[in-house]
Amino acid sequence: MIKILIIDDEAAAVKMLKLLIEKHIPYEKLIRTCASGEEALKVIPAYKPSLLMLDIEMPNINGFDLLDKIQAWNFDIIFTTAYDKYAIKAIRFSVLDYLLKPIDIADLQQAIYRHVIKQKADPFVSPQLIQNLMRNLKQHSPQDFKLALSTNKGVFFADPAEIIRCEGDDNYSHFYFANEKPLVVSRTLKEYDEILQDHGFIRIHKSHLVNVKYVSQIDRAGSVWLRNGTILPVSRRRKNEVLQELSKYSKHHS
């Protein structure tokens, strides 16, 4: 049973989301709705939802303010929002789900499916991810965000500056760090390419994402040499782009 609480100040949005869930989500479920953050604060302790469908932009108490006022995050969250780059970046760094309005049915189904899988695998992981989100939102810059990496041994919170490289292996990504043991995460390299592209990372190959600051050189054969001695291939079609990025980085740090 999924106990869903929809929180949104737009009555039409609440009605539409409730209808989509009732019609297109096959799991056994119970749905309640709230029209404001204030109302949600009263409903949550008694209702004990397992999933919040939470709008970010609301008057008086927005979605993030609401989370800040809740004592214990004993639920998972799927944010619903119009496009907000900073908020979405913080959400993605914490491996939490979001849906852009107007909500797409397939995206909704996938997000709820991920919620069900997450709750079966580890019902205690969501509070840790929400805690990381709240910490990231208090930072002055996205450069200070911690990246949540959910593994079969638990959740790890990584400083992107400490990540040397990521290696893709089908639906898994291997992370290699400057001062920590490697980790394996069950998410694709494409996702991390999108998340980390503003943090000095460059995709040099379909299987390799590297942190530019750990690159020592690119040789004539078209391989990238990292400061820890690792040598990685650069795909032919990416070579010019890689050279440009490395040139920009060296100029910026010379």
For 118-177, write each residue's pLDDT tens digit. Answer: 889 888 899 999 999 999 999 999 999 999 999 988 999 999 999 999 999 999 999 999
Contact assessment for residue 32 and residue 43, using Cβ atoms and an 8 Å cutoff: yes
Q: Which of 35-39, 54-58, 209-213, 219-223 has the lowest mean pLDDT?
A: 219-223
Q: Is the pLDDT of residue 254 over 60?
A: no
2-137 and 159-252: same fold? no
Q: Based on C-alpha coordinates, what's the Rg of the chain?
A: 20
pLDDT in tens, 2-24: 999 999 999 999 999 999 999 99
What is the CB-side half-sphere exposure of residue 174 using CA atoms within 13 A? Answer: 9
Q: Is the pLDDT of residue 249 over 80?
A: no
CATH number of 2-137: 3.40.50.2300
Dist CA 48 CA 72 (whole Å): 11
Q: Any idea where the domains of the chain sit in the sequence?
A: 2-137, 159-252
pTM score above 0.75: yes
pLDDT-derived band at 252 (thresholds 50, 70, 90) equals low
Looking at residue 247, what is its pLDDT? 80
pLDDT in tens, 52-104: 999 999 999 999 999 999 989 999 999 999 877 888 999 999 999 999 999 99
Domain 159-252 has CATH 2.40.50.1020: yes
pLDDT-derived band at 245 (thresholds 50, 70, 90) equals confident
